[in-house]
Amino acid sequence: MLSRQHAIALEHATGAQLDALCEQAAGVRDTHWPNTLTYSRKIFIPLTNMCRDTCGYCTFVKHPDSGQANILNPSQVLASVLKGQAQGCKEALFSLGEKPEKRYRYAKDWLATLGHTSMVDYLTEVCEMVLDKSLMIPHVNAGTLTFNELKQLKNVSGSMGMMLECTSDRLMKKGQPHYACPDKVPGIRLKTLEDAGKLDIPFTTGILIGIGETWEERVDSLMAINTMYQEYGHIQEVIVQNFRAKAGTAMANAPEPTLDDMRRTLAMARLILDPAISLQAPPNLAQEYPHYIAAGINDWGGISPLTKDFINPERSWPQITELANACEQQGYALQERLTVYPKYLQAGERYVTKALHQAMPAWRNDGLAVEQCIDNTTFQGVAHG
């Protein structure tokens, strides 16, 4: 494992030095995640776009007065889930704004019409419906959550996630992207990661790079994630996500991370993190697939044949065939996986509750006992257990 000091010294690695760093990271990947890169076939469900935070990079969030604020109702969610299932999707990715009812009367009143006092309770009900009425597995990314909220959601989801973003308190200051965002306080996000560990929740986290953090802060964020893993063993994957500037946000004119920055960060992440943690980079936020593969990733995260990436709506998903070609050109197969990684599914009821195992009999135990598919136009969505 890379020491903090060594990692910090890589800040300006470029040219041949960067190539060598990437080779080293790719070597670790090849030993622990050989021959195959993976992705999860999913639909994206933006349960609500209202949020009590206002991150300087985010266009997903909509103010109640904007005329675009929304909460999806259960039948809208179910319709989308069933469409996704017919297209062979296995993951229902719930990604949503955080606790809007605590800030906006409008959100509170809307939730009341749905019979709830909090977004987390409503989310729980909707996840339960997905398990009851479909074969899809909910993955919940609702940002920071308390111990009890995590516990409640564990019963109705296969896995959960929250991007740590960055451990820097500096980014909370005025003029910085997390100013006045109560859910982006690093200590609170770390607490969520830790509570998820105590609860044995298969967990996805990651860092968002290019939001004003220093290289050293990036190193420390990855080391903090790794420490959590060493303590609890629940972190199944880490996403290194590159910031994309969006018109109309506070960071509209901020520079985006360069390809070299992304390569350097991915390689460093692969060398800092325990090799058993999956390393993911999103394929729709850049086109440089070969470079990402060469920098040590083993996973592309969720890809949808149906729904756009609501967080980066201008960035369309690649065709799965196109991604498969890129992988094959570098000697790797592209394979579908579930939102829960196999080692957590295979650990009995420790990570995935009994009720959930029963709710998804078609693909418990062995990760993905379903029709493998590369071509999203021909898949029939047949599950056999």
Ligand X SMILES: O=c1nc2n(C[C@H](O)[C@H](O)[C@H](O)CO)c3cc(O)ccc3cc-2c(=O)[nH]1
Ligand Y SMILES: C[C@H]1O[C@@H](n2cnc3c(N)ncnc32)[C@H](O)[C@@H]1O
* From 53-61, 125-133, 198-206, 259-267, span contacting ligand SF4 (CB under 6 A): 53-61
- Interacting span for ligand Y (CB under 6 A) from 42-50, 212-220, 243-251, 295-303: 243-251
Beta carbon nearer to ligand X, 10 or 339: 339
Contact positions toward ligand X, by CB under 6 A? 40, 42, 44, 91, 93, 139, 141, 161-163, 204, 237, 239, 301-302, 309, 311, 339
243 forms part of the interface with ligand Y (CB under 6 A): yes
Q: Which does 54 bind (CB under 5 to 8 A by kind): ligand MET, ligand X, ligand SF4, none?
A: ligand SF4
Cα separation, 232 vs 226, in Å, equals: 10
Site string for ligand Y, 129-148 (x = CB under 6 A): ------------x-------
Which residues, 6+ apart, have CB-to-CB distance to 108 below 8 Å? 101, 117
Token output for 70: 């929304």
By CB under 6 A, tell whether 143 contacts ligand SF4. Answer: yes
Pairwise CA distance, residues 344 & 202, whole Å: 7
Contact status: 225 vs ligand Y (CB under 6 A): no
Residue among 246, 264, 270, 364 that touches ligand Y (CB under 6 A): 246
Residue closer to ligand SF4 by CB (options 53, 195) is 53
Among residues 2, 37, 58, 61, the one that binds ligand Y under rule CB under 6 A = 58
60 binds ligand MET (CB under 6 A): yes
DSSP 185-211: -HHHHHHHHHHHHHTT--EEEEEEESS
d(CA 37, CA 34): 8
Q: Do 283 and 300 touch, CB atoms closer than 8 A?
A: yes
Q: Which of 183, 200, 237, 336 binds ligand SF4 (CB under 6 A)?
A: 183
User: How far is 187 from 172, CA to CA, in rounded Å?
Assistant: 12
Q: Which residue is nearest to ligand X (CB)?
A: 161
* Partner from ligand MET, ligand Y, ligand SF4, none binding residue 244, C-beta < 5-8 Å depending on class: ligand Y
| Residue 299 touching ligand MET (CB under 6 A) | no
Dist. CA 330–CA 325, nearest whole Å: 9
Contact mark string toward ligand Y, 160..189, x via CB under 6 A: ---x-x------------------------
Span from 22-30, 94-102, 194-202, 220-228 in contact with ligand MET (CB under 6 A): 94-102
Considering the complex, what minimum distance in angstroms separates the CB of residue 95 from ligand MET?
5
Q: Of 280, 284, 283, which is closest to residue 315 (Cα–Cα)?
A: 284
Closest of 280, 285, 298, 191 to residue 237, by C-alpha: 280
Token reading at 315: 């960035």
Instruction: Please state, in angstroms and rounded to a whole number, the distance separating the CA atoms of residues 34 and 121.
Output: 40
Q: Are 119 and 130 in contact (CB under 8 A)?
A: no
Binding mask of the shown chain, residues 103 to 122, with x at each position contacting ligand Y by CB under 6 A: --------------------
Q: Identify which range of 152-160, 217-225, 236-244, 264-272 contacts ligand Y by CB under 6 A.
A: 236-244
User: In angstroms, what CA-CA distances link 157 with 134, 201, 203, 335?
Assistant: 13, 9, 11, 22
Can you tell me which residue has the tokens 């298969």? 202
Taking the complex as a whole, the smallest distance from the CB of residue 49 to ligand MET amounts, in Å, to 8
3-class state of residue 170 by DSSP: helix
The DSSP string of 139-158 is EEE-SS--HHHHHHHHTT-S
Q: Does 250 bind ligand Y (CB under 6 A)?
A: no
Q: Binding residues for ligand Y, per CB under 6 A?
A: 57-58, 95, 141, 163, 165, 208, 241, 243-244, 246, 311-312
